[in-house]
Structure 1
């Protein structure tokens, strides 16, 4: 019988070869230049990759696939040798510049993607193609970014790789502590350290790409999606060494606070769709003053037009991240101790203590109690409000104590506005 699935996979491989081939063809500035491959070659190589994988599948061996890969590689090598011989300086013709081995590597990648298509991993193949197209098309931007990096930046990258890829996997992912208080998990604690350092690292990359002003508030938006507490700690600490950008740091921090409420609301309704309506007011109303004040800070910054230093220090500071990781652990331990020893009657106190460290943990806990233990929606809302109040106060204190002096005055109105709205909501729910 005719198996249409076979033709579907081969067609996917052909499509990938066409897309990559057209992109490479478009980069050839001179039509008389010789290059290792064009749109036709890319298409055929993708098809060869899929067919060689098909033959390997039928023969239950890797020989056809490996042979095809070697043949394609040898053809590319022959093409480069022929190109070099045909453009010798003594022939009186200028040496035509090419794109090095980028196209050849792309050909080999397309061969492998053809095989990926044959094995039915079409989504993975599409993702890889998108990444390939971005890398191939962003040549100037990537080279420019690489030239902007200093030795300290590269060293910071190595350090971040060490703490995330070499240390984290070897830490025990097991909770320790007294009975009922098993919250001291080395893997989780170090993950939070990596998280804080990672926010700073990503933010620094954004700053290098789009400039300090835009990079900082983009970091605030992205950091708010991950952890506004970690983002606040990182930006506040960096402001001491980059005080010219204190106003930008303040804007980024306030934006992260606003995004935190939106993220928390989405998490809650994902865990329990029935909470979508009851949590609109308590979790989304504080976003209004946060975004309003962020807009005020931006307008004020635009009007000032203050000259800033072009230098921006590298963000990688491991010791502050470790210190905050320990503080985070201590607060979580105290919050869980209050929950265990004071009982469910101390829910608001426990939520307040837990929110001082991280809102997500409180949200997960109270929603779990709502689904499994019959905790009322009214009590759940109050618990989240008390947690968010403590969280805002904690982050404001972090900015005041760890940030540059010039950040203290502008951050206080943000804390007051958000806490005022949260306090009014607490009074409203406690009165009903």
Structure 2
């Protein structure tokens, strides 16, 4: 009796090999190069990966899979030797990118046999992307300096080697257990990480576009961390002050959108009540960001100064300590002033980080201990404090050239927020 599931898995393996093989064939034709492994080879090897697993199940042995892998490896070695002999003195050795991709295709074929189709497709897309942008990745690697490499190593150390070993529980006086070493260091890593990702964007697309793209991405993660990072960068790269201001204003605007999406995701019934109070302040922020972009668009072509490396751990640690102190004071206000002082607690908490305030308010709303009207006012006061705090950070800690342009952003966003507070206080 025919088992169609077998042919389905074999067809999936064949399709994956076919797609990667097409990319390789296209790459050869564009670069006027050749390699023994093309569309047919990739399709056959992927199919062999699945068939070897099928035979292994029938024989109840791993030998077919291992034998197939060894045969594919030997064929690749033989092809590289033949290529080297036929092109002796006519250039360097053949690259191993296609050979490595062929080995991976063998394993992807095996994944298809075991019905891990989603994983196989995701890995295929990643492989396809790596092969498609190979030249761009090589060019990007050539632009890196030894300082850039060391920055990567340092960031890996603080995020992968230090963070996992810090205790992940809170310390502090009774009722104020908010000093969590893991959370504090995570904020330090977060600030450094935003700067690192932004630096990569700047290297790839240039300072002008890279900085405002960093602002958009940073606003989706944490506008406070983004502001802290770009402010620190501005002192060493003052010629990009306008770009830093643009990135910061964009992150402030995106923060309101992120806050709205978080609230609606956790409590869908809040979609309509929070629509105006959280999305109206986005309009002046984006409008002013557009004004800055138009005003500075011509200057981007004139800026040729190298952009300094982003990794500076000491400022990130200092900002992490400031963040901890503010959070401690906000929680102290909540404990000692009581739940009746909701607006004051939200205002103080928002000065440090909006997400912490939003999650606590949403939790109260889900437990039916907080009305929508009180929730809206608390969120508006928290966002007002957050914008004022970030504006103060830019004005007092950023480059001098950022002081004048940041004031209109603070005034516009805070003005609209205050207007919304007035409307909902009267209602």
Same fold (TM over 0.5): yes
Q: Which residue of 2 aligns with 1:114?
A: 109
Q: Which residue of 1 aligns with 2:66?
A: 66
Cα RMSD for the two superposed structures: 1.8
Q: How does 1:90-101 map to 2 (within 5 A)?
A: 94-95=90-91, 99-101=94-96
Structure 1 Cα separation of the partners of residues 301 and 97 of structure 2: 44
Q: Which residue of 2 aligns with 1:347?
A: 342
Give the secondary-structure state (helix, strand or coil) at the position aligned to 2:302: coil
Number of residue pairs the alignment of both structures matches: 427
Structure 1 Cα separation of the partners of residues 32 and 419 of structure 2: 73
The 1:403/1:82 distance shift into structure 2, 3 A limit, reads same
Q: Is the counterpart of residue 201 in structure 1 residue 196 in structure 2?
A: yes
Q: Which residue of 1 aligns with 2:168?
A: 173
Do the aligned residues in 2 keep the contact of 1:34 with 1:83 (CA within 8 Å)? no
Cα shift readout 1:183-205 (whole Å, capped 9, x = no counterpart): 22211111111110000000000
Which of 297, 300, 303 is matched with 2:292 structurally? 297
Do the aligned residues in 1 keep the contact of 2:80 with 2:94 (CA within 8 Å)? no
The 1:60/1:397 distance shift into structure 2, 3 A limit, reads farther
Q: Which residue of 2 aligns with 1:423?
A: 418
Q: CA deviation at 1:301?
A: 1.2
**Any stretches of 5+ residues in structure 1 without a counterpart?**
none
**Any stretches of 5+ residues in structure 2 without a counterpart?**
none
Q: CA deviation at 1:228?
A: 0.4
Q: CA deviation at 1:54?
A: 2.6
Q: Which residue of 2 aligns with 1:131?
A: 126
Q: CA deviation at 1:120?
A: 1.7
Q: CA deviation at 1:34?
A: 5.0
Structure 1 Cα separation of the partners of residues 299 and 158 of structure 2: 40
Cα shift readout 1:332-367 (whole Å, capped 9, x = no counterpart): 122122222221101111101111111111111111
Q: CA deviation at 1:63?
A: 2.7
Do the aligned residues in 2 keep the contact of 1:241 with 1:313 (CA within 8 Å)? yes
Q: Which residue of 1 aligns with 2:278?
A: 283
Q: How does 1:16-415 map to 2 (within 5 A)?
A: 16-29=16-29, 35-89=35-89, 94-95=90-91, 99-302=94-297, 307-415=302-410
TM-score normalised over the length of structure 1: 0.95
Do the aligned residues in 2 keep the contact of 1:217 with 1:251 (CA within 8 Å)? yes
Structure 1 Cα separation of the partners of residues 301 and 405 of structure 2: 16
Structure 2 Cα separation of the partners of residues 57 and 333 of structure 1: 60
Structure 2 Cα separation of the partners of residues 183 and 4 of structure 1: 58
The 1:303/1:108 distance shift into structure 2, 3 A limit, reads closer
Could you tell which deviates more after superposition, 12-21 or 163-172? 163-172
